[in-house]
Amino acid sequence: MTNHITHWIAGRPWSGTAERQGAVHDPATGTVTGQVDYASVAEVDQAVSAAAAAFTGWRSTSIAKRTQILFAFRELLHARRDELAAIIVAEHGKVHSDALGEVARGIEVVEYACGIPHLLKGGFTEQASTGVDVYSVRQPLGPVAVISPFNFPAMVPMWFFPLAIAAGDTVVLKPSEKDPTAANFLAALWKEAGLPDGVFNVVHGDKGAVDRLLQHPDIKAISFVGSTPVARYVYETGTRYGKRVQALGGAKNHMLVLPDADLDVAADAAVSAGFGAAGERCMAVSVLVAVDPVGDELIEKIKDRMARLKVGPGRLPSSEMGPLITGAHRDKVTSYLDAGIADGATLAVDGREHPVTGGDTADGFWLGPTLFDNVKPGMSVYDDEIFGPVLSVVRVASYDEGLELINANPYGNGTAVFTNSGRAARRFQNEVEVGMVGINVPIPVPVAYYSFGGWKASLFGDTHAYGEEGVKFFTRSKAVTQRWPGPTHDGIDLGFPTNT
Ligand code: NAD
């Protein structure tokens, strides 16, 4: 028996018959566990119509009432976080504690959105001119679309839709077709929390559904997260159709270890951030930049920790690292091992030899933690975003050489520096051309009241996700100039109005 996963439109599961479907797998066993419907143009249009129909009522719903629904949603999410985490583990493969962490970080954004009464406050200037006041309001945009990647099926959508809904917009979410069930779970929670039908809709599918959302005249804004080529395409297409677009792309995150760093702390950090979620995180550390002379000692410490990592199914409490998302992705990631050797890098730890323990895993999508040493720009293991458990070490002679390497990289999502020198760390945060920086922290997803976003090829558009920038993205401002003339007034004046 496999699950049938379908769209959620106007407060209920879609009841039609899909023209196309895709398989959903349990990555730990390789078995097909579900079939997900792929939306055609007609189904996307139905979802957008539902969002458009709900918009007028939702934007006029009082902020007090909207906030009550957000609080109820937050309570339900918190109460049912274990269930949601289990859904993520079953379709994504990450370990349960990691899935709970993803849900917790999503809840943070919901909690931030509960502060919407404060966040939507405009400015007011009394007596800007004689008898004239000026003030600003922020108003919702209309139906907006969220298009999300496979690696955070709950958290990434929650970077966007809580604030969009709090601000008075209505939403069509198009989650990844690889792990679609979390989106439907969230939709059912919204309904239980009292959200009116049509305010939050889910369409499943692939490029066809995305293209229709990018072109649909009623969709006013697009929030996208995924790989850089698709992010660039979404940004260029969406803006061509007149929409506001924020498109977050891929990453190649460097961790710079200076000679004065605590190498045990740095080794723990590199292993945690390199191999957590099998490296399928946009904030994973994929390049370790070791400043001479720390390379040899640091690599030994990392190898020692890697050998002890427990790789196995995410549902087992003993597992620390799960499988990759699909067989095709595992094969692609594994192909980098041969490519790295052919390019002249040193394969210090071969993940193909790492044991997988627990249950029926023979056909799962496994690759153990892998370490390359002596990596250089120009090798595909350095140049490409691998998005798997492959950590590359680049050795450099100095801080300046490390900084130059990081700044020359086309991606600019996250980076970290490990040092005991406040002066060096301060210089790094000032000079590095990357959107999110960790200082002895590998690599931080900013808290909900700051915003998330990379630079360069890691983000197209000028607005980051959530925080104040998220509120700005999902609203447009209006400036009002008002005067309440008395019984006598100045009469006609064709001159350009000036402030007096
Ligand atoms: P992806 O680009 O393949 O897919 C992302 C979304 O776009 C999915 O919903 C997918 O259905 C859709 N899509 C795929 N191909 C498309 C196409 N040709 N046209 C239109 N839509 C298309 O990404 P993924 O493999 O699901 O996720 C991994 C990628 O996401 C990595 O590159 C990772 O770095 C990135 N990511 C970035 C961030 C960030 O914040 N910058 C966060 C998470 C993931």
Along the 500 residues of the chain, how does pLDDT read in single tens digits? 799 999 999 999 999 999 999 999 999 999 999 999 999 999 999 999 999 999 999 999 999 999 999 999 999 999 999 999 999 999 999 999 999 999 999 999 999 999 999 999 999 999 999 999 999 999 999 999 999 999 999 999 999 999 999 999 999 999 999 999 999 999 999 999 999 999 999 999 999 999 999 999 999 999 999 999 999 999 999 999 999 999 999 999 999 999 999 999 999 999 999 999 999 999 999 999 999 999 999 999 999 999 999 999 999 999 999 999 999 999 999 999 999 999 999 999 999 999 999 989 999 999 999 999 999 999 999 999 999 999 999 999 999 999 999 999 999 999 999 999 999 999 999 999 999 999 999 988 999 999 999 999 999 999 999 999 999 999 999 999 999 998 877 788 898 888 88
Task: For a ligand 1 pocket test, name from 105, 151, 451 the mutation site with the most ligand atoms within 8 angstroms of its C-beta.
Answer: 151
For 240, residues 6+ apart whose C-beta sits below 8 A from its C-beta are none
Other Cβ atoms less than 10 A from the Cβ of 211: the count is 16
pTM higher than the cut 0.80: yes
- Does residue 180 have its Cβ closer than 6 Å to ligand 1? no
**Ligand 1 centre distance from Cα of residue 227 (Å):** 4
* CA atoms of 241 and 121, how far apart (whole Å): 30
- Asked whether the beta carbons of 415 and 396 are under 8 A apart, the reply is no
Angle value at C-alpha 299, between 298 and 303, nearest 5 degrees: 120
**Known catalytic residue: 282?**
yes
Q: What is the atom index within ligand 1 of the atom nearest the CA of 227? A: 32
Task: For a ligand 1 pocket test, name from 5, 7, 44, 150 the mutation site with the most ligand atoms within 8 angstroms of its C-beta.
Answer: 150
Q: How many helices (H) and strands (E) does the chain have?
A: 16, 23
Q: What is the atom index within ligand 1 of the atom nearest the CA of 205? A: 11
Between the CA of residue 442 and those of 283, 393, 423, 491, what are the distances in Å?
8, 15, 19, 66
- Does residue 251 have its Cβ closer than 6 Å to ligand 1? yes
- Does residue 151 have its Cβ closer than 6 Å to ligand 1? yes
ipTM: 0.99
**Ligand 1 centre distance from Cα of residue 209 (Å):** 14
**Ligand 1 centre distance from Cα of residue 287 (Å):** 21
Other Cβ atoms less than 10 A from the Cβ of 331: the count is 12
Which residues are bridge partners to 121 per DSSP? none
Catalytic residue among 273, 282, 291, 294: 282
Phi–psi pair at 468, nearest 5 degrees: -60, -35
Task: For a ligand 1 pocket test, name from 152, 203, 215, 227 the mutation site with the most ligand atoms within 8 angstroms of its C-beta.
Answer: 227
